[in-house]
Amino acid sequence: MEDNAKSPTAMAEACEAQLADIREEVRRDPLLSVPLPLDKHSRLVQEVKGDEAYMTQSLSLFGASATSTKQYNFTRIRYARRDGNCFYRCAGFRLCELIVQHPEKAPDFVARLKSLEPLLTAMFGDFVSDFTEVLMEVIQGVVSGKVTTTAQVYQRYTSDDGAYLIVALRYIVSAYLQEHEDDYLPFVEGLGYGTVKAYCNMEVEAVDHESDNVQLAAFAKVLDVCLMVYGLDRNAGANVTEYSFNDENNADGHRVTIELLYMPGHYNLLER
């Protein structure tokens, strides 16, 4: 009788081939897309066809759901590559874009980044400036008038500089979490880590690693921005689940607001 069972070597080779196909598919996606229309013909809607909960919630993002009690007025979406850096890429790009759109806020962000330099150097060494200086260049460029368009920001985030920008943001978040260890230790213990430093080493500083709510909360606090996350959740009925970070006392809008779409394991960027 013929034995159809695959040998361990054949199974490992098949698994590696499948992973290679997945990695190649990921690489074909842009790091961050241009803004695309968010409507019934959008990629998002096509991706969730057949999933009633996701479809209903997705349609509500642009006010087209027949059953959702919460309707939104988003008009565009930027899709991020599914490489584990989607949160930092989306949030970092949008932050810089908003600074371009509101250049009067740029000096405050320059001052904030400069105030973090001693902490970053103390924790990670002088080399950290190789990454943070790229972020500073973008924001100082707004102050000096050299960076005036979204296209310039987009070019930085989708070029080789994009990796430096993401690493800079990861180090900034890690430093903030470790500086405020007492505030975040209960949360990281719930994730199975004994110290905030251990959590940061494994989850925050690791490039291509997905971000959780601890990192979103720290990102919002350390950069003094508001994050609004609209999550698709099959267990939430017809409505999108909303999460907000650092939105307290922001009725006057003095903090810029970054709006993100969350699907399990992935973030994209929403625009109105």
The residue assigned the tokens 């310039």 is 152
Per-residue confidence (pLDDT) for residue 37, from 0 to 100: 97
Name every residue whose Cβ is closer than 8 Å to that of residue 25 and which is 6 or more positions away in sequence.
none
CB of 260 closer than 8 Å to CB of 91: yes
The rounded distance, in Å, linking the Cα atoms of 261 and 244 is 12
Predicted pLDDT of residue 4: 58
Q: Name the β-bridge partners of 257.
A: 226
Helix (H) or strand (E) holding 263: strand 257-263
Number of other residues whose CB lies within 10 A of the CB of residue 177: 27
At residue 185, the 3 state secondary structure works out as helix
pLDDT of amino acid 21: 46
Average pLDDT value for residue range 121-147: 97
**pLDDT mean across residues, the chain:** 92
The contacts of residue 55 (CB under 8 Å, 6+ apart) are 45, 48, 49
Contacts of 135 (CB under 8 A, 6+ apart): 92, 113, 164, 165, 168, 169
Per-residue model confidence (pLDDT) at position 27: 59
What's residue 8's pLDDT?
65
Give me the DSSP letters along 199-248: HIIIIISSTT----HHHHHHHHHHHT-EEEEEE--GGGTTSPEEEEES-T
Q: What is the mean pLDDT of residues 3-27?
A: 57
The DSSP symbol for 32 reads B
Per-residue buried b or exposed e for 86-95, using 16+ beta carbons within 10 Å of the residue's own CB: bbbbbbbbbb
For residue 253, the model assigns a pLDDT of 81
Mean pLDDT of the region 100-119: 97
Percent of the chain clearing pLDDT 70 (strictly above): 90
What whole-number distance in Å separates Cα of residue 267 and Cα of residue 265? 7
Is 65 within 8 Å of 238 (Cβ atoms)? yes
Report whether pLDDT(9) > 90.
no
Tell the burial category of 208 from Cβ atoms under 10 Å away from its Cβ (0-12, 13-18, 19+).
Answer: exposed
Domains along the sequence of the chain with CATH: 34-79+225-271 (3.30.200.60), 82-224 (1.20.1300.20)
User: What's the pLDDT at 250?
Assistant: 82
Full-model pTM: 0.89
Q: How many CA atoms lie within 13 A of 12 on its CB side?
A: 3
| CA–centroid distance for 109 within its chain | 19
Helix (H, G, I), strand (E, B) or coil at 4: coil
pLDDT of residue 19: 47
pLDDT in tens, 217-240: 999 999 999 999 999 999 999 999
How far apart (Å, rounded) are the C-alpha atoms in residues 60 and 77? Answer: 14
